[in-house]
Structure 1
Amino acid sequence: MPEYIFTKNATHLNGNGMHDHKPETVTVGGTTTPNYILDRFISNWYLFLIFVIAGVFTAWLYLRYTTPVYKVNAKILVKDDQKGGDIPGQEILQQLEVFSNKSSVDNEVEILKSRTLMEKVVRNLQLYTTIFVEGRIKETEQFGNLPFAVQWIYLKDSLNRATYTFEPAGTEQFRVSGAKVSKTAAWNDTVSLPEGLVKFTKTGLPFSKPAYLIKIAAVDETVANYQKLVDVRIPNKQVSTIDLSLSAKIPEKGEQVLNDLLDTYLRASVEDRNRIADSTIAFIDNRLVIVTQELSGVEKNIQQFKQQNELADLESQSKLLIEGTGDSKKRLMEQQVQLNVVQSLEEYIRDAENSKRVVPSSLLVQDPTFVGLVQKYNTLQLERERLLLSSTLSNPVVVNLDQQLAGIRNDLVSNLASLKRGVQIGISELQRNASSLNQKIREVPGKERVFLDISRQQAIKQELYLFLLKKREESAISKSSNLAIARIIDAGKSDAKPFSPKRSLILLLGLILGIAFPASWLYLRELLSKRVLNKFDITNNNPVPVLGEIGHSADNLLITQTDARNVVAEQFRALRTNLQFVLSDSGSKVIITTSSMSGEGKSFVATNLAAILALSGKKVVLMELDLRKPKISDKLGLANHEGFSTYAIGKTSIDALIKPSGIHENCWLISSGPIPPNPTELFLLERTATLFHELNSRFDYIIIDTAPIGLVTDAQVLARFADATLYLVRQGVTFKQQLQLPKELYLQRKLPKMNIVINDVNTKGGYGYGYGYGYGYGYNEPKRKSVLPGLKKRALTRQ
């Protein structure tokens, strides 16, 4: 069983006879999460059904009369030096290195998006002219399979939109009529229209319609429209492919436009390269004429220079001169060395101290005579030294040897003198030759400089000539084998199904909108309403506990009679049960009812509460203390000549004041009496306190119906006699702003054990969140779902 939690106030009398209230908590049950919004929607299910049907029907109409749009896709591969994607056949151009203009995928994307390229397609296919046929609802564009063709010979650049009606006029003629012109002409004739010159031709197909609409748009406008329809993008940064897509209402037309765009793009790239090749060849031919003349002049200068300086090959002759100078220096150095040797030998032989020594042999002196004399001299000298080992100087043999040695020494001196003169003559000759060679070598740089200058001009002109010849040939070859910068991987092809509108999505959207519109309307209606429409309007930011709810009923004041088994009667029984927890003290019996304004059901709730308490066997008195606008007596059909107002002024006794109510034998009534001029002052009289003291001794419950506390202070004055307060809030009547008043009264504790009772709850409006068990079970009336259980999930605090 769910728990309910009540917070009550223990009541104690203070020294002034007033009640002090101390809070106590009594656990009675549990809480349930409110589901008001869902309940509200369910109660208005017919709105959702109507709007869902309308939404789905509207979606169907949209799908029925909306022209489907197809997606035409194509893919090309672009030569990108950074990402690869080489195109077959470009290896030759790369080897020739003629036109190495770099390309990139990003650049080609921008070219494909360019207006110039699209304008060529529009003009080539004459896309600014569209043909329609009229249907019952809309116009439908026609493409292909037409009985006639429109070809513009000349179209003005600046023109406004124009529409013409085309009708066949017999088998040989046709009629074209517009807003300002109407003409009849024969097939294949040129027709002059305000937009330009146009020719109509037959295609051979039969006319399926009596008339056709021809719409003409400006070229710039058509180009801009098609640019919006074309999407060019790179799949990712790692590839050199480009994906193209075109949105088209007619797949065949979209394929033709996209394929023509690709063909135009490829032709443009080839034409650009051919134009470059033609310009290059023309430039090379002009330069070849000039370079040939200049090269011929330079070659003539070289010829004259060689003839004047007796040069066959300057480089070879210069090399020979340098080699000859080196040989001459080498021979001169050898001769000088030989001269030094001869002089040294001559000095050695002439020196008397060396007369008894052998003459040193020299490899540098190769004269045979000198060599023979040196050998003979050295032999005799050695022989002499051998004889002196055993003989003396006076020995005839030694003396003979000395004589021979002296003669040979003289011969050596003569021979060396002769050699010395020969060497000196050779040295002089070599020195003269070296001077001559040096003179020629000194002349070589000047000649070589002049020759090199002329040769350099010849080399430059010749290299330029050869380069131009080579490039001209390469340009001619490359032009004949020029390839586009890209190749088509997938030609333009339309999808099998249209991508717009999406049938399932549109139907789902219609369904969602059919649900969203009534849901939003119901939600906003309550959100923007100024009056209380549901329990959450009361409980949100309001600490006053809700004690119970009373459903909507007819205008009858009394519905809780003995045999009453309707829903409202059961709600009052639930209110009676909940009051047992609020008035748990045995001395608590006075209940006051009030509200923010008139018309919220205070008299209705007070009367039926008194009746339901009387049905339980309790003695109850109902006090009609709304002295300003009394209703109970009149509704019950009782006389109101005497009542509280006459008692307060001393004209009626207590016994005469208490009258049977006619509701139940345990229920009595104290009517208001005649309306006094000073109702509030009557409540402050001592006789009022005496009345309540007497009533407390006679009755189990005292129900007080007072004036609205939001208008007058009667309820606050009577609150000193009360043990509990029932604050009435009526659905659809009480303003949300007025809920601040019970909140302030509750927080300031101006009324005892204050609780809210919600009146006139409309169960059909989805109010609150419903009873868990339902009141229909076992009763005469059909089952009816009450939407606010009296005390479920609220803490009730007695103040």
Structure 2
Amino acid sequence: MLLLILLGTTASWLYLRYTKPVYKSASLLKIDESNQGSALGLASQMAPASADKARSGKLAGEVELIKSGIIYRRLKDSLALDVNYYAQGTVLETELYGVSPFKVHYAISDPSLYNRKFNLKFTGPQRFSLEFMGQGRQLGGEYNLGQDIALPGIKMQITGTPQLTEASLDTDYHFTIQDEGTVNAFLDRNLAVEIVNPEANTIQISFTDFNSIKAQGIVNKIDTVYLQEKLARKKESTELQLRFLDDQLSSNQRNLQNAEDQLQQFTETTKTYDVKSDLAAIGQKLEKLQEERPKLEQKMALLSEISRLADQDRITNSENETVEQSLPGLAGIEDPQLGQALTELNDQQWQLRRVLRSSTDKTEAVQQRQANLTYTRNNIKRLLVQDQKLLRRQLSLFDQQQGQLNGLLQSLPAKATELARLQRPLDLYSKSFLMLFDKKIEFNIMKAGNTADFQILSPASPPAEPIFPNKLIVYASGLAGGLLLGLGLIAVRYFMHNTITNVRELERNAKAAVLGIIPTYDKEKMEVSRLVVDKNPKSAISESIRSIRTNLDFISSAKKKRLISVTSTISGEGKTFVTVNLGGIIALSGQKVIILDLDMRKPKVNLAFGAENTRGVSTILIDRHSIQECIQPTTIESLQFISAGPTPPNPSELILNDRFDLMIQQLFLTYDVILIDTPPVGLVTDGILIMRKADIPLYIVRAGYSRKAFVNNMNRLMRSNNLTRMCTILNDAQSGAGYGYGYGYGYGYGYGAYGQGYYEETEAKKLTFGEKLKKFFT
């Protein structure tokens, strides 16, 4: 896992080392109409119901404008984006945006030279070499700065810049000339315009590039050209609207003049300008005539009454009544002469009445007064005739005026209709003229006060850190990847692990008691199993087998005759090694031990002792040799063995023969312990037959070799054959896999050796990191 984590971290470092960093620069704009016309309240106001929709549409339109070809063309005219300059580094190339030591002026006639790499290297302060592929061959040469270069398909001139220093001459450079489509694709790919907050009308313009200064410069230049474009569009729009207003004003003024002339002509002809006023005036006149006529008629009646009275000899009906008393309306007579004459008549009547009280009609005084009265009455008649003529003339004039007014009144509807017809276009053209004139004033004010309809809230700044790759995320990913790979490897090994590796697994899976553990023996290389306990009595192998011998003594008394069988599931698990060395340890304790090799198909006990296998158990069971003839000695005096002998065709039948039991009985007469090396029970049934006869059947399991299914096979054998005293031994266990108790060597409760291969002593040996790593992956 440590190696995989280290590999993941190293991969992250390499990725960061060989990946170009990507920088992002951004500016924040607020779209907001700002002009003096709005400030003066002359600009048109938007309906509240459509404000939100209009705002959203406007923002979307501004986004499309910024990403349109209009801005791109202005941007390319302002920034030299068609030529990119690079300096070649050890691993990656660096773009020299704005800091290139040279500048390229070109004219390309061959479009295939666009997007082509031109290599440049300075050979001196004012000379350089140029190489590129063009028209299927290598082109270029050595030139001076400022020299006109004419090559197939291209003409160029390369000049120096203030950045051309002595140190910059040693660097390898190259540049590319990009066509318009490539530049547009570059801008489309890296430019992002987003609506940040629709309520606040804010838009963010961002650009990503490998060069942070270039990203900042492009964003700031986009802000500038966007400002210029907005002002140009507003100016053009205002001028177009003003031109339209001027045209409309001229046309409207002509129409207004015609309407005014027609109305003036009508007014002059009809003497009518306001029908309503004329109607009111005629009505007032008629009303006044109606009011004056009764008065005249009343005067006329009064005069008629006076004239009637004047024709009579007596003015009054009674002698006691005067003219004033007979005609009480005399006070209303407006003619002063008539009034004076009536007054005189009244006085004369009073005088005559007073004289008649004292005189008769024959007296001079009465007659004189009667004559005066007659004269006055005649005078009154004359005045009455004159006043009546005047009143009749006034009444006639009233009737004439009333007729004229009624005639005028009847002609007013036609005049009103014609006047309304002439007044409508005049009012319409007047209003239109005033409205257009106001709009012209408004747009002139707006034109004078026009500003860009956006504000740069946050200009672009050079990014300090790249947005990609993120070092923290890359290293975290590498670390997590290594950790996950390590965990995955552990999981794979766990799920693919099907062998017994330590005593805990054996104890957890086996129903048989674990008698002991035999550690790996790697002190010397052995081709076959050998007796090693007599040569290394204090080794870990010897001590572990002694513990097994002790455990056997607990299972059965040391003085009792014991038949011990040793078997395994398959060949190679170390049963022969365990049998030989367990027999040696028991023999060293003072007991007489004999080892029988009943693995007649693949005998190995004789090889362990370096003896021949010309006769043995197979020849004893067929009565070819006696037991004594087949017993062979070992280096330990109390330990002998009988080899398997020649391989018979029917080993199982020989074991089932009564002669096998007789042989065991005869051996018990001489030996205390009989150890039988049986065939693997997973391959043949011979071992099962012997295990049934054995006092203690031992089942060998090899660590890292025996599968877990073998332990299940052992459990099944115990269950099916009622082998209640079966024990198991873990062989070839690695250091640290058992229970250590220490004997000066640091070995454990038991580790095992195996039948063939390496048997080495483990004396508190600790594996190095490399050995542990090798062991982990193997």
Q: TM-score, normalised by structure 1?
A: 0.66
Q: In the alignment, is residue 96 of structure 1 matched against residue 43 of structure 2?
A: yes
Q: In the alignment, is residue 707 of structure 1 matched against residue 675 of structure 2?
A: no
Match of 1:637 in 2: 610
Aligned residues: 651
Alignment of 1:303-314 (within 5 A): 303-314=264-275
Check conservation: 2:23, 2:467, Cα contact below 8 A. Answer: yes
2:732 alignment partner AA: D
Match of 1:409 in 2: none
* CA–CA separation in structure 1 for the residues paired with 2:482 and 2:712: 38
Check conservation: 2:29, 2:456, Cα contact below 8 A. Answer: yes
Q: 2:595 aligns with which of 619, 622, 636?
A: 622
Cα separation, partners in 2 of 1:91 and 1:303, compared to 1, 3 Å:
closer
Q: Which has the larger radius of gyration?
A: 2
Check conservation: 2:37, 2:445, Cα contact below 8 A. Answer: no
* CA–CA separation in structure 1 for the residues paired with 2:149 and 2:122: 15
Match of 1:387 in 2: none
Q: In the alignment, is residue 759 of structure 1 matched against residue 731 of structure 2?
A: yes
Is the deviation greater in 179-188 or in 239-248? 179-188
2:426 alignment partner AA: Q
Q: In the alignment, is residue 552 of structure 1 matched against residue 520 of structure 2?
A: yes
Match of 2:75 in 1: 121
* CA–CA separation in structure 2 for the residues paired with 1:329 and 1:724: 159
User: Structure 2: any 5+ residue segments left out of the alignment?
Assistant: 298-326, 333-392, 748-760, 768-778
1:75 alignment partner AA: L
Match of 1:268 in 2: 229
Match of 1:133 in 2: 87
Aligned residue for 2:133, secondary structure, equals coil
Aligned residue for 1:672, secondary structure, equals coil
1:46-98 CA distances to partner (integer Å, 9 max, x unpaired)? x67xx84x77677666656655444434333333xxxxxx7687843874228
1:678 offset after TM fit, Å? 0.6
User: Structure 1: any 5+ residue segments left out of the alignment?
Assistant: 1-40, 80-85, 337-365, 372-424, 787-799
Cα separation, partners in 2 of 1:169 and 1:721, compared to 1, 3 Å:
closer
Is the deviation greater in 92-101 or in 272-281? 92-101
Q: 1:783 aligns with which of 740, 751, 764?
A: 764
Match of 1:76 in 2: 29
* CA–CA separation in structure 2 for the residues paired with 1:165 and 1:188: 17
* CA–CA separation in structure 2 for the residues paired with 1:246 and 1:224: 13
Check conservation: 1:291, 1:461, Cα contact below 8 A. Answer: yes
Aligned residue for 2:271, secondary structure, equals coil
* CA–CA separation in structure 2 for the residues paired with 1:742 and 1:258: 78
* CA–CA separation in structure 1 for the residues paired with 2:420 and 2:552: 130
* CA–CA separation in structure 1 for the residues paired with 2:146 and 2:405: 97
Cα separation, partners in 2 of 1:154 and 1:634, compared to 1, 3 Å:
closer
Aligned residue for 2:545, secondary structure, equals helix
Q: 1:286 aligns with which of 247, 253, 264?
A: 247
Cα separation, partners in 2 of 1:169 and 1:596, compared to 1, 3 Å:
closer
Cα separation, partners in 2 of 1:514 and 1:293, compared to 1, 3 Å:
same
Match of 1:453 in 2: 421
* CA–CA separation in structure 1 for the residues paired with 2:61 and 2:562: 93
Match of 2:140 in 1: 182
Q: In the alignment, is residue 144 of structure 1 matched against residue 98 of structure 2?
A: yes
Alignment of 1:234-253 (within 5 A): 239-253=200-214
Check conservation: 2:517, 2:731, Cα contact below 8 A. Answer: yes
Q: In the alignment, is residue 675 of structure 1 matched against residue 647 of structure 2?
A: yes
Check conservation: 2:580, 2:608, Cα contact below 8 A. Answer: no
Alignment of 1:467-616 (within 5 A): 467-498=435-466, 500=468, 519=486, 523=490, 526=493, 532=499, 534-535=501-502, 547=514, 548-554=516-522, 555=526, 556-561=529-534, 564-576=537-549, 590-615=563-588
Check conservation: 1:131, 1:214, Cα contact below 8 A. Answer: yes
* CA–CA separation in structure 2 for the residues paired with 1:219 and 1:712: 84
Cα separation, partners in 2 of 1:369 and 1:89, compared to 1, 3 Å:
closer
* CA–CA separation in structure 1 for the residues paired with 2:561 and 2:396: 163
* CA–CA separation in structure 1 for the residues paired with 2:253 and 2:503: 104
1:302 offset after TM fit, Å? 2.0
1:127 offset after TM fit, Å? 1.7
Cα separation, partners in 2 of 1:513 and 1:98, compared to 1, 3 Å:
closer
* CA–CA separation in structure 2 for the residues paired with 1:287 and 1:661: 134
* CA–CA separation in structure 1 for the residues paired with 2:698 and 2:600: 18
Check conservation: 1:611, 1:664, Cα contact below 8 A. Answer: no
1:281 offset after TM fit, Å? 2.1
* CA–CA separation in structure 1 for the residues paired with 2:519 and 2:474: 43
1:107 offset after TM fit, Å? 5.4
Alignment of 1:626-775 (within 5 A): 626-652=599-625, 661-663=634-636, 665=638, 667-691=639-663, 702-722=674-694, 725-731=697-703, 733-734=705-706, 741-742=713-714, 745=717, 757-763=729-735, 771=739
* CA–CA separation in structure 2 for the residues paired with 1:497 and 1:78: 29
Check conservation: 1:770, 1:785, Cα contact below 8 A. Answer: no
* CA–CA separation in structure 1 for the residues paired with 2:127 and 2:636: 100
Alignment of 1:267-346 (within 5 A): 267-321=228-282
1:112-153 CA distances to partner (integer Å, 9 max, x unpaired)? 455664564345313231112334544332233434323457
1:624 alignment partner AA: D
1:774 offset after TM fit, Å? 6.0
Q: TM-score, normalised by structure 2?
A: 0.68
1:625 offset after TM fit, Å? 1.4
1:653-699 CA distances to partner (integer Å, 9 max, x unpaired)? 5666666554463x453432221111111122233344556667876
Check conservation: 1:90, 1:483, Cα contact below 8 A. Answer: no
Cα separation, partners in 2 of 1:743 and 1:673, compared to 1, 3 Å:
same
1:515 offset after TM fit, Å? 7.1
Check conservation: 1:115, 1:227, Cα contact below 8 A. Answer: no
Instruction: Name the % identity.
Output: 28
1:710-761 CA distances to partner (integer Å, 9 max, x unpaired)? 2222223333224555444435544677676556556756765566544333
* CA–CA separation in structure 1 for the residues paired with 2:476 and 2:72: 38
1:533-564 CA distances to partner (integer Å, 9 max, x unpaired)? 74499669956568354332242522333852
Q: In the alignment, is residue 218 of structure 1 matched against residue 179 of structure 2?
A: yes
Higher relative contact order (CA 8 A, sep 6+): 1
* CA–CA separation in structure 1 for the residues paired with 2:148 and 2:441: 49
Is the deviation greater in 726-735 or in 714-723? 726-735
Aligned residue for 1:132, secondary structure, equals strand
2:224 alignment partner AA: D
2:567 alignment partner AA: T
1:164 alignment partner AA: F
Is the deviation greater in 90-99 or in 708-717? 90-99
Aligned residue for 2:602, secondary structure, equals coil
* CA–CA separation in structure 1 for the residues paired with 2:503 and 2:248: 97
* CA–CA separation in structure 2 for the residues paired with 1:772 and 1:449: 130
1:624 offset after TM fit, Å? 1.6
Alignment of 1:396-411 (within 5 A): none
* CA–CA separation in structure 1 for the residues paired with 2:717 and 2:193: 71
1:636 alignment partner AA: F
* CA–CA separation in structure 2 for the residues paired with 1:522 and 1:89: 74
1:162 offset after TM fit, Å? 0.7
Check conservation: 1:706, 1:714, Cα contact below 8 A. Answer: yes
